[in-house]
Structure 1
Amino acid sequence: MNEELFLSKVKEHEGIINKILYLYVDTQEDKKDMYQEIVLQAWKSMSRFRGDSKFSTWLYRVGLNTVMTFNRKESRLQKQPLEDTFDIEQPSSEMSDRSLKLMQAVRLLNDIDKSIITLHLEDYNNDEIAEMIGITKNNVAVRIHRVKEELKRKLQANG
């Protein structure tokens, strides 16, 4: 794949990258840096994209792995109380208060559960989620159920 085609595919699916950044990266400066790092890592590993999955699935996996590696190395992922989580820029000014609270609660989940529920909310099916995350379809279903219960508890506890 040539550079122009690659960049157009990344642009077409940049919403996936932005969701990852929103959930895993706190500052706007780090988001810009991490966006570039994800694109760079995707370009470097493009030769390993066999086309067995959709480009968006592959890009999500590259993006998620890049961010998680960054967070592990830098120990930047900190858990904060729900009400203190959002000094960072919101993904959309059109987000309802309820959606905002849900996203705040999702940010407090562990990395795998955060990824799974985000993909589920984006209407990916369990097979696709399993492929992206690297776990079984049954494990995805169990985790989705548990995460929904945990989110309900968090949202009810915080009004």
Structure 2
Amino acid sequence: MPHLQSDLQAQYMSLVKENAGIIYKVIRLYIDNTEDQKDLYQEIVLQAWHSFTRFDGRSKFSTWLYKVSLNTVLTFRRKNSRIPTDDLEKASGYALPGDKNDDTEMLMMAIKSLGETDRAIVSLHLDGYENEEIAEITGLTKNHVAVKLHRIKQQLTKKLNG
């Protein structure tokens, strides 16, 4: 039995390492404080480990991890109301790896100004997730995701074009 546990741990750690970018992206999208980001990374890894035996493989591991990460971050934000929810000035702390041009900064600032659900939807969309996967992660219907994506795109265009 201990061998099965160590195999499960090894499998889990391998999957987390392959998908660590998802965790970092979700955290940076919602949390600006560096110490909170570090704590949340550990909390997400722990929460995902506790839930790993319930991961049934019907969705991709990355989709499942995105959902765990998002739920953990949003729970943290609700418990710690000292964290500003839509502070546009602090949005510059979020950047894509290797991508630090002005257009990217402006886009990230605009995304961070959106509400929690809209941020998650557009972030998932930009990461290449299909509407069905976004619906699974957010708990919305596929049609509702499509409508929200359309509205979010309009909202972002308006913000970026002033």
Q: Verify same fold: TM over 0.5.
A: yes
Contact 1:27-1:88 at 8 Å conserved across structures: no
Which residue number corresponds to residue 40 of structure 2?
34
The CA deviation string for residues 51-88 of structure 1, in whole angstroms up to 9 with x for no partner, is 111111110000000000000011124322x3x22463
Taking the aligned partners of 2:38 and 2:90, their CA distance within structure 1 comes to 20
Unaligned 5+ segments in structure 2 are 1-6
More helix by share: 2
Quote the RMSD (CA, aligned, Å).
1.5
Q: Which residue of 2 aligns with 1:92?
A: 97
Query: Does the 8 Å contact 1:13/1:56 carry over to 2?
Result: yes
Residue of structure 1 equivalent to 2:117: 112
Distance in structure 2 (CA, Å) of the matches to 1:27 and 1:90: 14
1:117–1:144 Cα contact (<8 Å) kept: yes
- Note the C-alpha offset of 1:43: 0.3
Query: How many angstroms does 1:92 deviate by?
Result: 3.1
The equivalent of 1:78 in structure 2 is: 85
1:155 is displaced (CA, Å) by: 1.0
Q: Deviations over 1:85-140 (max 9, x none)?
A: 24636443532210111011101111110000011111111111111111100000
Tell me, which stretches of 5 or more residues in structure 1 are unaligned? none
| 2:118/2:152 contact within 8 Å kept | yes
How many aligned positions are there? 155
Q: Which residue of 1 aligns with 2:142?
A: 137
